[in-house]
């Protein structure tokens, strides 16, 4: 079971980190775009990318939680528990910052974005950059712990 949890944890955490990185690159490339273009792209992003986020984050969380539970009395517990904490923080940040903004942006009109669209964009992008950094770090911690054998302490 530990072997499968390791593989699933690494696979889904890596896919999730890569997905967030790709979205961050896209978002940063839109920094110079006007409100109409930015809103059009965000509406396309909001169409289905949340499904990909859920399809990669939830299995990563579950597999990492199983792996952390299996590693509690081993020498590899700290990187795995650290990765789990980071994934939980990503969920919290997503729920408190990104999802409310996403829900608001679903009602934006590309032809006439709200007057404060740049402020909203900046808040979303800052939170997303933090999520991306946390996801990449969680993946790195899992990758660091992966080759280590589970030894009881």
- Whether residue 151 lies inside any domain: the answer is no
pLDDT, mean of residues 97-122: 97
Determine the Cα–Cα distance for residues 121 and 16; give it in Å rounded to an integer.
21
Higher pLDDT, 75 or 119: 119
pTM, to two decimals: 0.92
Q: Are 120 and 114 in contact (CB under 8 A)?
A: yes
Which residues constitute the domain of residue 130? Answer: 2-145
Q: Are 142 and 83 in contact (CB under 8 A)?
A: yes
What is residue 75's predicted lDDT score, i.e. its pLDDT? 83
* Structural domain count of the chain: 1
Q: Where are the alpha helices (DSSP H) in 1-151?
A: 2-29, 35-71, 77-93, 99-105, 117-145
Please enumerate in sequence order all residues whose Cβ is within 8 A of that of 67, keeping only pairs 6 or more positions apart, or say none: 2, 5, 6, 9, 80, 142
- Whether residue 53 lies inside any domain: the answer is yes
Q: Are 68 and 80 in contact (CB under 8 A)?
A: yes
- Whether residue 33 lies inside any domain: the answer is yes
- Whether residue 40 lies inside any domain: the answer is yes
Q: Please say if the pLDDT value at position 146 is more than 80.
A: yes
- Whether residue 150 lies inside any domain: the answer is no
What is residue 150's predicted lDDT score, i.e. its pLDDT? 60
- Whether residue 67 lies inside any domain: the answer is yes
- Whether residue 31 lies inside any domain: the answer is yes
Determine the Cα–Cα distance for residues 111 and 134; give it in Å rounded to an integer.
35
- Whether residue 88 lies inside any domain: the answer is yes
What is residue 73's predicted lDDT score, i.e. its pLDDT? 85
Determine the Cα–Cα distance for residues 152 and 73; give it in Å rounded to an integer.
5
What's the chain's average pLDDT?
95
């Amino acid at each position: 079971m530990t072997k499968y949890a390791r593989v699933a944890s690494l696979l889904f955490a890596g896919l999730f980190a890569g997905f967030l990185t790709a979205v961050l690159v896209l978002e940063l490339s839109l920094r110079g775009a006007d409100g109409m273009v930015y809103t059009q792209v965000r509406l396309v992003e909001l169409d289905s990318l949340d499904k990909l986020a859920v399809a990669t984050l939830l299995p990563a969380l579950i597999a990492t939680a199983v792996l952390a539970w299996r590693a509690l009395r081993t020498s590899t517990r700290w990187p795995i528990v650290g990765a789990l904490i980071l994934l939980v923080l990503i969920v919290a940040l997503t729920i408190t910052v990104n999802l409310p903004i996403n829900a608001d942006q679903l009602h934006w009109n590309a032809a006439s974005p709200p007057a404060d669209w740049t402020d909203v964009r900046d808040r979303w992008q800052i939170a997303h950059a933090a999520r991306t950094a946390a996801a990449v770090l969680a993946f790195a911690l899992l990758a660091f712990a992966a080759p280590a054998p589970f030894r009881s302490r």
